[in-house]
């Protein structure tokens, strides 16, 4: 009987036993249980394999001269060298082949293989590695329950096909089938027909005519080569569950990304199943999902045959589930475990991708944690899409809820900008060019850093989302902040270490100055408000203040970047669609020659910059650009290619020929990149809980301070012209052009009742304004008091309270008041918590972090309270309060501070003097130990009599939470035992109240 191949034995590889391969029609491997590896080769000392009975052997039609040939000796998976071809042509035989795994085998659902075929070691391993489901029929046949499809050998157009024939094709003669394939441009080499329910196994090769003998050998080699080696088949099974599988994000990006993952990893040794899930019922949901899957595409460089085969297999490995109830999740888990059990597969892990609104996260997380976790030994990866909260409190709440179900290492929060190739290459670029960048990547050489995302589209159709979030929450808080951190973080020693990268990013974020209302300019395109009225059931006359454009100025406290402005800008309805991160360097050169000569070559007078171009815009591709007058960068040639020098294209006013430009060899969608990182467990491309909360802590104060600020209106598109241009002024930003004034003609009655704000509070002067304006006024008044005191006595003694209220004031003094006489100032504490001075709750630590380390106060002029003596905290026997009182008496004339800054608690306490306190409200001691109702309970404080000896006392009251106590204080007299702040009344000085509108008016 003629066959198209013979069984190949097992051989040693890297000290391991490699299973044999069975690819023939006339012989069978030794029989074995399904899932066991059995060799078709007689090892030394082994019993000979029993041949199949004649009636059980699959019969092959006469293929003229197709005698059995040996496998290719020493063949590597997927490669067929020229030398090996020559040996085949000359008929050399050098032993059995290994199990290469690069050709493609496809067997249709329901096809029965010859008895014994399914137990071959390579076939069994290949089936497991690629999701083939095998079962034993009653007659002992191995039946295919899902198709076996393995990757094509790249570089050839080889296809091994075992597919059901249509009714018409089954009745075609062999010559008619050959003619049909000849019309398709294929050349039939040899064929082997098995009696598999009308199926055929045929080999076609898109090569020039070859000798018959070589064709017959290739039949054997390619069929055996269709099965992967067991070494790569032992990594286990991965179930991917896409929640929200019929939503917009899934349609546009996620299914394509999962298909790309399957194409990339189909030969990795993992098997896959893909489960789409949504709330829709089975039939309509399945229809919607598979309409999306049919539109999946392959990269342009993918061979069409391989693409078609893999796409077909991906569809067959995908299924839809309705997931609404806990029972649905239990059923899904049962189905996955049943599959694993039936096929004898070991589970590697499960990926749950949450493409659903955040309000659904908690319920879904509970279902997964309760009934859909993988068994012990397998990993779980839960992928979460933004938004991750609306502000710091909501982000903290969501983080706490998810932490109740998942461990930190199991959560992957997606910011798809981290998958953009230009953004993802920032750290590798900095690492590979350390020798050039280390001397210039600092405040001495960098003029500014810009991170920009501009869009031409508006928010129409998305106003329900945009009204809740706006441009800052949608883009700046996440995408642009992440790109900025890659630029300014300290470069870790190992940029491949996810832990180091995450830690350095967090440190860079925590080093940023806090944002104020003056840190941003906001705009809104004119049509937005009418779109809100059309799409949302807002009250008639509602006017939206949601910004669609924002420019934000950020500074860092780090020594590397101190004083360097970071500008983050994004908006809708702008003049172009483009995104980039740009580092502009200072130009120290002066060129006396004319402009014509200056433009030649690598002139040092041209701007120097490095640009990470995210895409779109003039280049319409991701790119890295470096000015030629800086350096020629080192770039990985396997993934980035250098572009041609085009002088007709201009970037930032310069011809492209002024730059070294590099673009990706192969462009990849951001979601495909991130899904690959999820598969590989790369956490450095995702947002940790700690980083998320730190980011919201940074942005929330700006969001709160601008929530009622009306944005500047702009027409949109090119008509914006210079209307959105802004500039940096004294550490803040403001629009360059004044907003056009418009005279309003109200149709209704003008308001005739206003609430008057008096100029006094408790018989003392009152200053009131919005919080940011109030802090600016207070800082100016403090500077004026300091200057007058130094002029009068040569020094200025300032006592400052702790807490959260003065943080913005400290930052304002450090960043804007460069005329403050710090060299002649003494800084004292009005109160302190009994914790080490390095503790984050220490008042001194907060003062140092926000003020002292940024101004030039002589070291000996800083006077922290001695709460930590003899390795003990606030022990009366240590005499810390007495020591501080002695220092005050020795250095402060008449123990009278020039200025004391106080705050007010909701219970009326000030400094650390609390209601019904036994110490500090009266008596001789000037510094006392007190007890607080709040943790930490032990405190040290200046006494009320000492405070009242000051020349000036300023009281700062901020926030709506202080409205009740402010109202109460406006009505009561002097009762310090009930409300200690009411006892503040300088005997020979002045008391001034600084109260913002929210505290004053609610």
Q: Residue 3 pLDDT more than 90?
A: no
What is the spatial distance between Cα 418 and Cα 75, in angstroms, rounded to a whole number?
A: 40
Range with the poorest average pLDDT among 142-146, 487-491, 675-679, 930-934: 142-146
Distance between CA atoms of residues 427 and 423, nearest Å:
8
Q: Which residue has the tokens 């990866």?
A: 381
pLDDT tens sequence across 79-114: 333 333 333 333 333 333 333 333 333 333 333 333
Residue 659's pLDDT is 92
> CB of 957 within 8 A of CB of 995?
yes
- Residue 601 confidence class, pLDDT cut points 50, 70, 90: low
Q: What is the per-residue pLDDT for 987? A: 92
- Measured CA to CA, the distance from residue 563 to residue 568 in angstroms comes to 16
395 vs 44: which has the higher pLDDT: 395
Question: What pLDDT sits at residue 301?
Answer: 86
Per-residue pLDDT at 621 exceeds 70? yes
Distance between CA atoms of 462 and 468, rounded to whole angstroms? 10
Q: What angle do CA 417, 423, 429 make, to 5 degrees?
A: 165
Judged by phi (left if over 0) then psi (alpha if -120 to 50, else beta), residue 329 lies in alpha
Rounded CA-CA distance 511/500 in Å is 17
pLDDT at 123 exceeding the cut of 90: no
Rounded to the nearest angstrom, the gap between the alpha carbon of residue 236 and the centroid of all alpha carbons in its chain is 27
Query: Rounded to whole angstroms, how far apart are CA atoms 549 and 454?
Result: 9
- Asked if 399 and 692 touch (Cβ cutoff 8 Å), the reply is yes
Banded pLDDT at 46 (limits 50, 70, 90)? very low
Q: In sequence order, what E strands does 270-419 have?
A: 270-278, 318-322, 347-354, 379-385, 411-414
pLDDT value of position 895 = 94
Does 536 have pLDDT greater than 60?
A: yes
Q: What is the pLDDT of residue 440?
A: 95
920-953 pLDDT, tens digit each: 999 889 999 999 998 889 999 999 999 999 999 9
Q: How many whole angstroms separate alpha carbon 22 and alpha carbon 5? A: 9
pLDDT band at 600 (very low <50, low <70, confident <90, very high): low
Confidence of residue 361 (pLDDT cuts 50, 70, 90): very high
- Active-site amino acid positions: 479
Q: How many C-beta atoms lie closer than 10 Å to residue 649's C-beta? A: 14
pLDDT, position 757: 59
For all residues of the chain together, what is the average pLDDT? 78
Structure tokens at 12: 């040693």
Rounded Cα distance between 84 and 74, Å, is 9
Q: What is the pTM of this model?
A: 0.67
Q: Which residues touch 954 (CB under 8 Å, ≥6 apart)?
A: 778, 781, 782, 899, 900, 901, 902, 992, 994
Cα atoms found within 13 Å of the Cα of residue 967, Cβ hemisphere only? 10
Q: What is the pLDDT of residue 935?
A: 86
Summarize pLDDT for 867-907 with one digit per residue, the tens.
999 999 999 999 999 999 999 999 999 999 999 999 999 99
Three-class DSSP labels, 934-979? CCCCEEEEECHHHHCCCCEEEEEECCHHHHHHHHHHCCCCCCCCCC
Show the tokens assigned to 273. Answer: 């199943």
Question: pLDDT value at position 599?
Answer: 56
The predicted-structure confidence for 476-508, as pLDDT tens digits, reads as follows 999 999 999 999 999 999 998 999 999 999 999
Cβ-contact 640, 662 below 8 angstroms: yes
* 1 burial type by CB count under 10 A (0-12 exposed, 13-18 middle, 19+ buried): exposed
**Beta-carbon count within 10 A of 302 CB:** 16
Residue owning tokens 């300014």: 488
């Amino acid at each position: 009987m003629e066959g198209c191949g013979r069984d190949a034995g097992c051989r040693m590889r890297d000290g391991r036993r490699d299973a044999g391969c069975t690819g023939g029609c006339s012989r069978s491997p030794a029989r074995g249980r399904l899932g066991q590896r059995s060799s078709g080769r007689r090892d030394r000392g082994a019993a000979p394999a029993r041949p199949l009975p004649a009636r059980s052997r699959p019969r092959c039609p006469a293929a003229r001269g197709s005698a059995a040939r040996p496998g290719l000796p020493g063949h590597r998976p997927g490669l067929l060298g020229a030398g090996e071809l020559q040996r085949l042509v000359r008929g050399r035989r050098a032993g059995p082949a290994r199990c290469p795994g690069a050709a493609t085998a496809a067997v249709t659902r329901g096809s029965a293989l010859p008895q014994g075929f399914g137990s071959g070691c390579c076939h069994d391993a290949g089936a497991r590695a690629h999701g083939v489901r095998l079962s034993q029929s009653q007659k002992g046949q191995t039946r295919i329950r899902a198709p076996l499809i393995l990757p094509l050998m790249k570089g050839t157009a080889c296809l091994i096909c075992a597919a059901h024939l249509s009714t018409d094709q089954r009745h075609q003669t062999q010559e008619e089938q050959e003619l049909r394939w000849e019309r398709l441009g294929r050349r039939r080499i040899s064929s082997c027909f098995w009696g598999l329910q009308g199926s055929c196994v045929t080999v076609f090769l898109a090569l020039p005519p070859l000798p018959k003998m070589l064709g017959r050998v290739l039949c054997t080699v390619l069929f055996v080569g269709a099965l992967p080696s067991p070494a790569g088949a032992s990594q286990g099974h991965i179930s991917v569950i896409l929640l929200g599988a019929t939503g917009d994000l899934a349609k546009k990006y996620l299914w394509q990304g999962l298909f790309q993952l399957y194409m990339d990893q189909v030969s990795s040794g993992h098997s896959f199943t893909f489960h789409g899930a949504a709330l829709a019922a089975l039939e309509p949901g399945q229809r919607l999902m598979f309409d999306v899957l049919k539109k999946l595409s392959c990269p342009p460089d993918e061979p069409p045959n391989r693409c078609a085969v893999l796409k077909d297999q991906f569809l067959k490995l995908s299924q839809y589930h309705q997931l609404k109830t806990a029972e649905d999740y239990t059923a899904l888990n049962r189905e996955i475990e049943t599959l694993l059990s039936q096929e004898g597969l070991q589970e590697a892990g499960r990926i749950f991708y949450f493409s659903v609104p955040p309000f659904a996260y908690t319920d879904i997380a509970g279902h997964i944690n309760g009934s859909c976790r993988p068994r012990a030994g397998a990993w779980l990866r839960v992928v979460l899409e933004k938004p991750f909260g609306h502000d710091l409190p909501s982000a903290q709440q969501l983080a706490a809820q998810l932490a109740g179900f998942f461990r930190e290492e199991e959560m992957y929060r997606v910011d798809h900008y981290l998958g953009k190739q230009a953004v993802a290459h920032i750290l590798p670029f900095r690492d590979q060019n350390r020798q050039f960048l280390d001397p210039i990547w600092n405040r001495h050489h960098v003029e500014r850093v810009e991170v920009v995302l501009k869009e031409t589209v508006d928010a129409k159709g998305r106003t329900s989302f945009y009204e809740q979030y706006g441009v800052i929450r949608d883009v700046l808080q996440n995408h642009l902040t992440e790109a900025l951190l890659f630029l300014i973080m300290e470069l870790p020693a190992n940029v491949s270490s996810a832990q180091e990268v995450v830690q350095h990013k967090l440190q860079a974020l925590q080093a940023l100055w806090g944002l104020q209302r003056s840190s941003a300019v906001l705009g809104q395109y004119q049509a937005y408000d009418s779109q809100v009225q059309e799409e949302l059931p807002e009250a008639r006359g509602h006017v939206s203040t949601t910004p669609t454009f924002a420019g934000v100025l950020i500074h860092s406290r780090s020594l590397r970047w101190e004083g360097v402005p970071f500008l983050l800008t994004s908006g809708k309805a702008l003049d172009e669609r483009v995104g980039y991160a740009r580092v502009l360097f200072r130009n120290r050169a002066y060129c006396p020659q004319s402009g014509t000569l200056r433009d030649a070559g690598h002139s040092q007078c041209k701007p120097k910059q490095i640009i990470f171009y995210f895409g779109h815009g003039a280049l319409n591709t991701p790119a890295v650009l470096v000015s030629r007058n800086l350096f020629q960068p080192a770039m990985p040639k396997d993934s980035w290619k250098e572009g041609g020098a085009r002088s007709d294209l201009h970037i930032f006013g310069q011809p492209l020929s002024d730059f070294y430009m590099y673009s990706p060899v192969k462009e990849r969608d951001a979601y495909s990149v991130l899904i690959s990182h999820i598969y590989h467990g790369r956490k450095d491309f995702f947002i940790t809980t700690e980083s998320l909360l730190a980011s919201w802590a940074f942005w929330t104060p700006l969001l709160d301070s601008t929530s009622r600020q009306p944005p500047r209106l702009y027409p949109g598109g090119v008509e914006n012209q210079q209307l959105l241009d802004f500039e940096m002024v004294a550490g803040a930003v403001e629009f360059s052009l004044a907003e056009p004034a418009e005279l309003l003609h109200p149709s209704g009655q003008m308001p005739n009742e206003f609430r008057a704000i008096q100029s006094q509070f408790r018989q003392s002067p009152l200053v009131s304004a919005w919080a940011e304006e109030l802090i600016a006024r207070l800082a100016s008044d403090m500077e004026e008091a300091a200057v007058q005191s130094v002029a009068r006595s040569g020094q200025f003694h300032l006592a400052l309270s702790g807490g959260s209220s003065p943080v913005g004031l400290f930052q304002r003094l450090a960043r804007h008041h460069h005329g403050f006489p710090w060299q002649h100032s003494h800084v004292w504490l009005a109160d302190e918590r009994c914790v080490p001075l390095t503790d984050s709750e220490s008042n001194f630590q907060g003062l140092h972090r926000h003020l002292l380390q940024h101004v030039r106060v002589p070291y000996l002029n800083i006077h922290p309270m001695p709460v930590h003596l003899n390795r003990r905290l606030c022990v009366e026997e240590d005499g810390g309060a007495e020591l501080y009182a002695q220092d005050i008496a020795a250095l402060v004339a008449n123990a009278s501070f020039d200025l004391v800054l106080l705050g007010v608690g909701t219970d009326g306490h000030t400094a650390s003097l609390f209601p019904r306190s036994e110490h500090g409200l009266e008596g001789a001691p000037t510094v006392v130990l007190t007890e607080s109702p709040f943790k930490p309970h032990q405190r040290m404080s200046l006494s009320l009599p000492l405070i009242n000896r000051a020349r000036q006392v300023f009281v700062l009251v901020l926030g709506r939470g202080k409205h009740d106590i402010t109202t109460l204080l406006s009505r009561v007299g002097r009762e310090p035992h009930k409300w200690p702040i009411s006892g503040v009344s300088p005997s020979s000085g002045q008391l001034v109240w600084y109260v913002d509108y929210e505290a004053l008016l609610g």
